[in-house]
Chain A
Amino acid sequence: MLEDILQGKQSLFAGGAVSVLRGHENRSRRVTLLKGDVVNNQRSESRGVNAYVYDHGSYGFASSANYTAQDADRVLAAATENARFLSQRAPREVPAFSPVEQTVIVPQAKIVDTPQARLIDFCRALDSYIVEHYPFLTSRTVVYTEDSQDRILYTSHASCGHAVSPRCYVYVVFNAEAKDGSPVELMEIFGGWGSFDDQFSTPEALAPKLDALAQHMKEKCEGVYAEAGEHTVILGGALAGMLAHEAVGHTVEADLVRGGSVAGPSLGKQVASPLVSLVDFAHTAFGAPAPLPVYLDDEGVPARDAVLIKDGILTGFMHSRESAARYGVPADGNARAWEYSDEPLIRMRNTFILPGKDKLEDMIASIDHGYYLINTNNGQADLTGEFMFGVTLGYEIVKGKLGRALLDTTVSGIAFEMLKTVDAVSDHVVGESSGFCGKKQWIPVGLGGPDMRCRIMVGGR
C-alpha cells in the first residue's frame, strides 16, 4: 500500500485555486497460457504523484514518476504554473464550483500481492482440467489478470482520503471447429473485486463453470447465423449492462452532453419504457458492494449514486465539479483517473439497469421467433445514441423455446428509441466488472442489469 508522503502539503496550495494533490500507484499481474505454453508472465507497477489545479477558469496538471515529497512540491508548482499559462492566453468564464463535503475517506480494501508462481500454477491446473475433459477443443487460452489502484488525495476544497481498488479475473477462451470446419471461439470470465484469494479458492471450484462453458461451446459449434434485421430479443443481464454503459451511460456524461449528445435536450423527458430505470452506483448496489466500489473520486468528491433514468424519464447526468457547476447541480464523484499521469475525466462507475418483476422463462415463452442474447465481448456508442455491441453467445427462440445456438453476431440501435420498446424486465440482475472503458484513458468499470425483452437490430447473414 502507498505510504502517505503528502500530509502537510496543503499549505503549499495556491491561494484562491482549487487544488488536488494525488499519490497514485497502479499494479498489474498477468499470466497467459496458450495451448499450455506460458506466452506471457508479467508483473508491473507504476507509481507517482500529480497535482491538478484549477485557477481562474483553467486547469493545470503536472505529474512525476518519482513518488517523493520533493516531487510533490515540484508538480504542485508546475500545475499551478500551467493553469496560469492557460488562463492568461485563453481565459474562460466558468461558474464557481459548488461546495463539496470535506471528510476523510479511509481504505475499504487491501492490496495483497500473490506470488507469481501461485498464479501460474493455478492457470496450469485449469489448463490441465480443460485438456482432460474437453478433447473436442482445437485450442484453449487461460489468462489470469489483476489490476489495482492505490490513491491518496489531499485537496484544498473537497474531501481527502486513501482509496484502494483491487480486482482480479481468470479469462478462459475455447476454440473448436464448427461442422463445416470453420473456427469457433467462446470466452468466459470469472472473478471480481479483491485479490486472488478473495476470488479464487481451488481450480476445482471452477469446474462446474468450465463444464457449462464447454456445453455452450459444443452447441455453438452446431450454431447458425442470426438473421439480419430487427427482431424481438431478450437481452441477458450482461448485455443489459453493456447497453446501460454504452448506449445510455456515455450519452449522459456531461462533457459529451455539452459536446452535443442526444441526451442534452432530453433531460426530464421520456427516453425509455416506464419499466426502465438506470443508476450509476457508487459503492453499494442492491444492498451489497457494487462490482467495483468507488468511495472517493479524483477531485476529492465523496462518491454517491447518480440516478440517470427513473421510470423511463431522463433525470440526470454524470459530472465533474466544473460540469456540475455549469449545470447547477451537485457533483456525485464521477471524476476518475486511471494512472498517476492522468487527469480526472467524467467516467462511469457501476452502471446498472434496475430489475423488474418478470420471470425469464415467461419472457422466453412469450416469443414466437426471436433471440436470447447472453454474452458480449465489446461495445461502442456515439453522441447520437447509436450503439453497437458484439454478441458471443446467444440462442434462437422458436415458438417460445430455446433453439439452436448462434454464431457471433452484433446488435445495434439508437438507445432512446430501442429502450422505448422494452416491454418486460426480469427480477434477476447480473453484474460484470472485468472490463475497461476507453475515453482518452482506460478506466475499470462495473455494469449490469436484468434480462429485458425489446426490439433491436441484429447483424447477421
Chain B
Amino acid sequence: MEELRRAAENAREKMKALGAQQYACTLQKSELKELNADNGEFSLFRTVFDQNVSATVIHDKRKGSVQGNDLSPERIGKVCEEAFGSAASSAEDDAYAFAPSEGALSFSQGCPEADVPAFFDRLSELKEQITALFPKVHLMSLSASHTKETGIYFNSNGTWAEQVQGWYDVGLEFAGQEGEKTTGFFGTGVKVDSLDRPFLELGTVRRSLEDAQNSLNSVTLPEKFTGTVVFTPDALGQFVYMLAENYMGSSVIMEGTSQWLNRVGEQVADPRLTVSLRPLDLRIVCGERVTRDGFLSENVDLIRNGVLERHFLDLYAANKTGRPVVKCTSEDLVIEPGDVPLEELMGQISRGIVIGYFAGGEPNASGDFSGVAKNAFYIENGRILGGVSEVMINGKLDEIFNHILGITKESFTDGRSCVPMMAADGIVISGK
C-alpha cells in the first residue's frame, strides 16, 4: 500500500501543479493466480501482475479521462497532463462533477492472500465430484482464480479511499454428452472469500450440472403457443439487468426514450417484485465500496413491491436530468425471494418452458425482445417432460414483470448476486 500511496500523492501533486479545478484518480495494483483445466485436465497456471492508473479532470466545465498502467512518477505525470489536455479539447457541460467529500475511508474485504495448494485441492475435488456424480457431463473448461487487489481513489473534493480485497472466482463451462449426442453450453460460477465449502454446494453449480445431464433427455416442442416461462436464477438476472438498462439506465433517461421516464413512484411491476443493488450485503463477496462517481456506496432499491423507486442514474445523468443520483455503480443484484416453493410453482404450470439463459442480445428501445431460450426444458401439466432446443421466446420486457405467476422461496447466492427463480405468463414460445 505504501508504494500505491506514494504514486497517488504524485498524481495529486501533479494535478495541483497543472492547476486542474477538479480531478479524480484511481490507482490500483493487483495479482491474479489462475488455474485452468480443459476437457477435465489441468492445462495452464497463469499469474498476472497488473496495475493501472486512471485520471479524470474537469476544468472550465470540460472533462477528459486517461488511463494507463505504468505507476512510475513520469508516467503518472503524463497521464495527468493528458487528462488535462483531453478535457481542454472537450465541450462545456454544467453536469460534469465528482461526488462531494466522503473524507478518508479505508476498506478491507475478503481474503487477500491466496492459498494456491488448497485452491488446487478444492478444484480437484470439484472435478472428481463432477466425474462421479454427473457421468454424462463433459467439463469443457474450468477457469479458477484468486485476485488480490489494492487500490486508492481520491478526488479534489477531499475523498481519499483505500481498499485491500481478495477473492476466489470459479467459472465452469460444460455440456451433457452421451456418445455423439451433445447438449448446448452450460455455464455457472461462484465468487467466494474462503475455501471452507466445496464449490459443488455453492450458487447454482449443482443445479446447472443436473440440468446439463437431464437436458440429454430431449423432446420436441409442439406448435407455437403463449405460455409460462420459468426463469432460472441466471436467466432472471439477465432479464432484470436488461430491464434496468432499458427502462432505468442513464442513457435511456438522458435520451428520453425510456418507457418509465416519468413513472417513479408508480406501480410498474407485480407487487411481489423487489429488485435491489446491495453491494454491502454480507452475501455479496467484495462488494463495491466507493462508486465510480466517488460516493460511499449504498444499498439501493430500484423496484420495491413493484413500485419504481428510482432510475439507475450516475452523477452525470442525475445532474443532466435533474433527477436523484444513485450511490451505487455496481451490479450486485439482490432480488427478494417469494413465498412459493419451486415444486409448487412448477405444479401450477399447464404449458411452458424453463429457461437457463437467454441468447438474444439487447431488447430494442421499446423493450421488445426476441431470442433463443437456451438450456431449456418443456413443462406440461406441472411436469418437466424433457430438454428442448431451437426454441425462441418473444415478448416485451416490462410485461414479463407484470405477469408474474410466482417467485420461489428458494434463492441462490453465488457471491455476486442473490436471486430466486420466477415464473411469468403470457410469453410467446415457438419451436421449429
Which A residues contact B (CB, under 8 angstroms)? 34-35, 37-39, 41-48, 58-67, 78-79, 82-83, 85-86, 89-90, 92, 115-117, 120, 124, 138-139, 141, 175, 178, 182-185, 228-230, 255-256, 258-262, 265, 341, 343, 377-380, 382-384, 386, 388-390, 407-410, 412-414, 440, 457, 459-461
Contacts and interface: CB of A to CB of B under 8 A. Distances in A.
Given A44-B67, A259-B138, A410-B360, 15 more contacts: A41-B87, A45-B68, A46-B52, A62-B46, A65-B49, A65-B69, A65-B70, A90-B42, A124-B91, A183-B365, A228-B392, A255-B38, A377-B362, A390-B362, A459-B370
Interface of B: 32, 35, 38-39, 41-52, 63-70, 82, 85-91, 93, 95, 120, 124, 138, 140-141, 143, 173, 175, 177, 180, 182-185, 224, 251, 254-257, 259, 316, 320, 359-362, 364-366, 368, 370-372, 374, 389-390, 392, 394, 428, 430, 432
Contact of A139 (B183, B224, B255, B366): B255
B255 to A, nearest CB: 4
Given A41-B63, A65-B70, A459 B44 contact: no
Contact of A47 (B69, B177, B362): B69
Contacts of B124: 90
Contacts of A412: 371-372, 390, 392
Contacts of B93: 37-38
Contact of B46 (A46, A82, A175, A409): A82
A120 B89 contact: yes
Contact of A461 (B67, B87, B394): B394
Contacts of A388: 359-361, 371-372, 392
Nearest to A33: B91
B64 A116 contact: yes
A386 B389 contact: yes
Contacts of B360: 388, 390, 410, 459
A46 B49 CA distance: 13
A259 B371 contact: no
20 contacts: A34-B254, A37-B95, A41-B64, A43-B82, A44-B67, A46-B52, A47-B69, A58-B42, A59-B44, A61-B46, A65-B52, A116-B86, A175-B257, A185-B364, A341-B32, A388-B392, A389-B361, A408-B368, A409-B370, A410-B370
A86 B44 contact: yes
A178 B259 CA distance: 14
A382 B316 CA distance: 39
A120 B90 CA distance: 7
B67 A46 contact: yes
Contacts of A407: 364, 368
* The 7 A-B residue pairs with the shortest CB-CB distance in the complex, in nearest-first order: A117-B89, A459-B370, A183-B365, A259-B140, A378-B361, A90-B42, A82-B45
A85 B224 CA distance: 54
Contacts of B430: 228-229, 459
B362 to A, nearest CB: 7
Given A44-B67, A175-B257, A39 B316 contact: yes
Nearest to B364: A408
Given A138-B256, A228-B394, A228-B428, A341 B48 contact: yes
Contact of A383 (B67, B87, B184, B257): B184
B238 to A, nearest CB: 12
Nearest to B54: A44
B361 A341 contact: no
A85 B114 CA distance: 15
Given A42-B66, A59-B44, A65-B69, A459 B90 contact: no
Given A60-B44, A259-B175, A390-B361, A46 B68 contact: yes
B185 A341 contact: no
Contact of B371 (A48, A61, A410): A410
A59 B43 contact: yes
Contacts of A184: 364-366
Contacts of A255: 38, 141
Contacts of B368: 407-408
A408 B89 CA distance: 37
B70 A460 contact: no
A44 B66 contact: yes
A265 to B, nearest CB: 5
Contacts of A413: 390
A256 B38 CA distance: 10
Contacts of B51: 65
Contacts of B46: 60-62, 82, 343
Contacts of A79: 47
Nearest to A228: B430
A343 B87 CA distance: 35
B365 A185 contact: yes
Contacts of A34: 251, 254-255
Nearest to B375: A382
A45 B143 CA distance: 27
B173 to A, nearest CB: 8
Contacts of A459: 360, 370-371, 392, 394, 430
A383 B89 CA distance: 48
Contacts of B432: 230, 457
Nearest to A85: B45
A38 B63 contact: yes
